[in-house]
Structure 1
Amino acid sequence: MSMEYLSTPLSWSQTRHIIQTNQLGKFKRSQEQLTKYREHRAKLKQQGISSLNKLLSDELGWVEVDKNYNILSPTAYALKPSSDKLFNHPDDIKITMNRFPYNFTSDITHLLVWTKLPIPNDPSSPIGDISPQTRQIIDTFLEKQFVRNHGLPKENILWFRNWSELQSIKQFSHIHVLIKDLKADKLREILQQVPCTLKEYEYSEASSKL
């Protein structure tokens, strides 16, 4: 039986190999982070608070809640995507730190890119992976967001989307973005600025690369 946690942090080259070979099940938290994650979930459960509602309110800022973290009905409409295309509207996108990151070496920053619009699974994938078309759209967005907009080296960026069976939060799609040697001021800039969006011609360009 595989370990629930990862004792030794993964280096950049190890992480890149895991993503390139699609062995995403090898990504795990450290024992410390796993304990923190479980304690966080247990505390919310004990308080009768929805972990999803807390995420939507406190981290994503997509809804307003009452003191018990029940979503206030006037703000529930905000969860509806503003566009039917991925990364097409800034209100549908939020970039956050992963509060309980996987076990990577300290030079790797673990971000999450959330989208109100579901990232579809490839119907032909037995494990719930994404299609080449969807992968190309995500590639296009991440290059625009992190390379062109924030000036990061493309070779310092890796990403993956967990297969369905590996997802701990299934209700809202998110992408794991890993950045090597990210400076603190650049991280603040990424988290504070409104995310980029894709234009119509960029979807066409993405399709032409397949």
Structure 2
Amino acid sequence: MGSVSDLPFWQVNIPENERTEECPEFLNQLSPKDIGIIGTPDFLYHRSTWSEVQSIVAENRLDAFRRVPSDLRRYLEYTWTLKRDHGSVMNFVLSQRLHWEAPVAPRGNPFEFDDDVKILWNDWPYGIDERIVHLVVWTKFDLAEDPVTTDLTDEARAAIDGYVQKKFGSRVARDRYIWFKNWRSLKSVHAVEHFHVMLFDPDPKFIDEITNGDIPSCRKV
């Protein structure tokens, strides 16, 4: 039997009796970055520590986030299946995760009404310290971006800061939570506005409370 380095990328992290000769359809046409990740044995993967996560966000190096190789494979198979069965990831998120009807429209100004916001687990979190909880805050309203830089406007950033401090800062120490909004090129769902919140080792009861007992999809499949 050859070493892991001799295997095609799609056979890495797969039990020998489950390996296929041909590359599965859901792994066709991947970027070199994703091929490199999936072709890496899980035991060689380094999970980002909380201090590393803080640095990545502070330095706006969001493309440095990676999933554990076997999790990325599962994620790609899962999203491929969603597109096949629901037409798009967005359709699934709207109907099965958010339970919002399209077209999505807010009831008021940003963060004015609770029902314009929904907090859920990230269905497929990055490869980070397992004590870190990765949530997604979905909003029915847009979060304004500068048309030139595509970064958030100062007003939008201040609004998110205020919301995050009120929602999370009242229950979690300031150095134990952080938020970021993915670059447009990194988003998997473009049509529904959202940003990310990560918390280090928070009280599970608090997470159940703010997510209404949500369970991420990665734990269901």
TM class by shorter chain equals 0.7 to 0.9
Change (3 A) 1:165 1:98: same
Change (3 A) 1:48 1:154: closer
Structure 2 residue 142 is the aligned partner of structure 1 residue 142: no
Q: Which amino acid aligns with 2:55?
A: H
Given that residues 129 and 162 in structure 1 are in contact (C-alpha distance below 8 angstroms), is that contact kept between their aligned partners in structure 2? no
Q: Which amino acid aligns with 1:10?
A: S
Match of 1:90 among 102, 114, 138: 114
Aligned-partner SS, 1:101: coil
Structure 2 residue 123 is the aligned partner of structure 1 residue 99: yes
Q: Which residue of 2 aligns with 1:117?
A: 141
Structure with the greater alpha carbon radius of gyration:
2
Q: Once the 2 structures are TM-superposed, how far is the Cα of residue 154 of structure 1 from its aligned partner?
A: 1.6
Q: Which amino acid aligns with 2:33?
A: M
Whole-angstrom distance in 2 between the partners of 1:136 and 1:176: 15
Q: Once the 2 structures are TM-superposed, how far is the Cα of residue 123 of structure 1 from its aligned partner?
A: 2.2
Q: Which residue of 2 aligns with 1:133?
A: 155
Any unmatched runs of 5+ in structure 2? Answer: 1-30, 214-221
Q: TM-score, normalised by structure 1?
A: 0.77
Whole-angstrom distance in 1 between the partners of 2:46 and 2:32: 14
Q: Once the 2 structures are TM-superposed, how far is the Cα of residue 174 of structure 1 from its aligned partner?
A: 0.7
Match of 2:106 among 77, 81, 101: 81
CA-atom RMSD, angstroms? 2.0
Q: Which amino acid aligns with 1:38?
A: L
Structure 2 residue 41 is the aligned partner of structure 1 residue 17: no
Q: Once the 2 structures are TM-superposed, how far is the Cα of residue 162 of structure 1 from its aligned partner?
A: 0.7
Q: TM-score, normalised by structure 2?
A: 0.73
Q: Tell which has more relative contact order, 1 or 2 (C-alpha 8 A, sep 6+).
A: 1
Q: Which amino acid aligns with 1:107?
A: R
Q: Which residue of 1 aligns with 2:91?
A: 53
Q: Which amino acid aligns with 2:158?
A: Q
Q: Which residue of 2 aligns with 1:160?
A: 180
Runs of 4+ aligned residues of structure 1 deviating over 2 Å after TM superposition are: 1-7, 44-51
Name the count of aligned residue pairs: 175
Aligned-partner SS, 1:155: helix
Q: Which amino acid aligns with 1:159?
A: W
Aligned-partner SS, 2:169: helix
